[in-house]
Amino acid sequence: MISKKMQDALNEQVAAEFYSAHLYLAMSAYLESVDLPGFANWMRIQYQEEISHGMKMFDYVIERDGRALVKAFDAPPDEWGSTVEVAEAVYKHEQKVTGLINNLMDIALSEKDHAANIFLQWFVNEQVEEESTAKGIVQQLKMLGDSKAGLFQIDRELGQRVFTPPTSE
């Protein structure tokens, strides 16, 4: 059975994951509006990943005989000044999510909840990948400067991404 403290923290994280999903969907809509369908596709995949992360936690709470809750969250922004600004916002947001996951891990350790500790390790590893990818996109965009050809190339590359549901491995 999951402790109330761990259950409440995971329920808050589910809301945070769903907020992340909506943020990325809003970014996708913005990127479509500036004719970058590849970037928009990449953000839609991010949306799908965040939904799956939230559901993974939601189901985990239930599996541990806890009460999963659906909590409200604020609407995300819907305008950005540039593609670089979007990428920087993604990177900053992923850093924030890493902090939230680390806090969950701290709770699991303080509660001596070994099952939650093992469960959360997947998310710790996922955040390393998320931050690295977002930082890489920011760096590529900054290297491009005003190169429309370079932006077109990155857009085409990001358009190739497809959603692969995460595994627990």
Condensed to tens digits (0 to 9), the pLDDT of residues 125-161 reads 999 999 999 999 999 999 999 899 999 999 999 999 9
Give me the mean pLDDT over the 35-64 stretch: 97
| Dist. CA 157–CA 159, nearest whole Å | 5
Pinpoint the alpha helices (H) of the chain.
4-33, 37-63, 83-110, 114-144, 148-158
Predicted pLDDT at 79: 97
Instruction: Specify whether the CB–CB gap between 157 and 148 falls below 8 A.
Output: no
Query: What are the residue ranges spanned by the domains of the chain?
Result: 4-158
Distance CA(167)–CA(169), nearest Å, equals: 5
Residue 168 pLDDT: 55
Question: Which overall architecture, per CATH, does domain 4-158 show?
Answer: Up-down Bundle (1.20)
- Give pLDDT tens digits for 59-112: 999 999 999 999 999 999 999 999 999 999 999 999 999 999 999 999 999 999
Per-residue tokens: 100: 């939230």
